[in-house]
Amino acid sequence: MTSDLVALLQDRPKIHGGRTVDMGIHPDLVTFLDGTLRPEHVTLETGCGLSTLVILGAGVSRHIAICPVTDEFDAIREQAAAKGIGTGALEAAIQKSEAYLPTVTLPALDLILIDGDHAFPIPFLDWHFTADRLKVGGFMVVDDTNIAPCLFLANFMSADPNWRDVMRCDRFSVHQKIAHPISGNHWPTQLYLWNSYPAAAITIKKGKTPVPPRDPGRFERAMARVLPWRLVQKPLLSWFGWPRQS
């Protein structure tokens, strides 16, 4: 970590709440961003603040930050000027993310930070409208995983074979995208839903009390271990809900 970044963490700028509140990201996330981002990278975050300064300080070529509060961007630019951080790469979208993201064509992205409105279902909408624009090998960061919607999103990616966990703690998580596309999957292929909420996989028959499916037997578990995931298991799960993983 550079001395400028250490100084920024020691004197954390108050950007939120009319410039009275520091809601900055965890120091370990600062270290990850600083060590990962490169000048050629294109990045996006929902929300803005200390993370914006860190990303701009890494010298990325383009950074889209989405936040409905104009003064927070003014504060970021003032802090950047005081600390010698260039803001030429910053594209400020002064809107709520759920209004902005469905209306734009995003560039291919190297890193996404979900750190805007944490009320349900906003983190999921942020993810939905950005995940397919993230490059394979790129990083999806979810901040404030101590808040339930953010935690559910992080847990979903941890269970999904399209993502690889890079870092997880009680405040944030980092996931690397390893397959494309993300969207369009039938729900039984989404392992977090299948494994975490078996009651959602009930079989309903007319006039019968819904009952959950039986646990996978030895043959089904064996097939789930040996059949190629993308070529065989994923289509079979989509069509028939088989084989299931225990």
Please give the full DSSP string across 111-170, using - where no structure is assigned.
EEEE-S--STTHHHHHHHHHGGGEEEEEEEEEE-TTSHHHHHHHHHHHH-TTEEEEEE-S
Cross-strand pairs, 157:
none
User: Which of 53-57, 81-85, 229-233 is least confident?
Assistant: 229-233
What range does the domain containing 218 cover? 200-240
Asked whether residue 148 falls in the same domain as residue 71, the answer is yes
Asked whether residue 106 falls in the same domain as residue 143, the answer is yes
The reply to whether 195 falls in a domain is no
CA-CA distance, 89 to 43, in Å (whole number)?
Answer: 10
The reply to whether 184 falls in a domain is no
The reply to whether 245 falls in a domain is no
Give the CATH number of the domain where residue 98 resides.
3.40.50.150
* DSSP state, residue 59: T
Asked whether residue 37 falls in the same domain as residue 137, the answer is yes
Asked whether residue 123 falls in the same domain as residue 45, the answer is yes
The reply to whether 34 falls in a domain is yes
Quick one: which of 94, 140, 103, 147 has its CA closest to 121? 147
Asked whether residue 150 falls in the same domain as residue 212, the answer is no
Q: What is the pLDDT of residue 155?
A: 95
**Where does a domain end: 177, 209, 225?**
177
Asked whether residue 42 falls in the same domain as residue 159, the answer is yes
Asked whether residue 59 falls in the same domain as residue 162, the answer is yes
Asked whether residue 206 falls in the same domain as residue 144, the answer is no
Domain count within the chain:
2
Asked whether residue 77 falls in the same domain as residue 147, the answer is yes
The reply to whether 185 falls in a domain is no
Quick one: which of 83, 61, 59, 81 has its CA closest to 4? 83
Global model pTM greater than 0.85: no
Asked whether residue 161 falls in the same domain as residue 217, the answer is no
Q: What is the pLDDT of residue 186?
A: 76
Confidence band (pLDDT; 50, 70, 90) for 4?
Answer: low
**Where does a domain end: 123, 143, 177?**
177
Asked whether residue 147 falls in the same domain as residue 205, the answer is no
The reply to whether 31 falls in a domain is yes
Asked whether residue 13 falls in the same domain as residue 135, the answer is yes
The reply to whether 74 falls in a domain is yes
Q: What is the pLDDT of residue 204?
A: 46
Tens digits of residue pLDDT in 149-180: 999 999 999 999 999 999 999 999 999 999 99
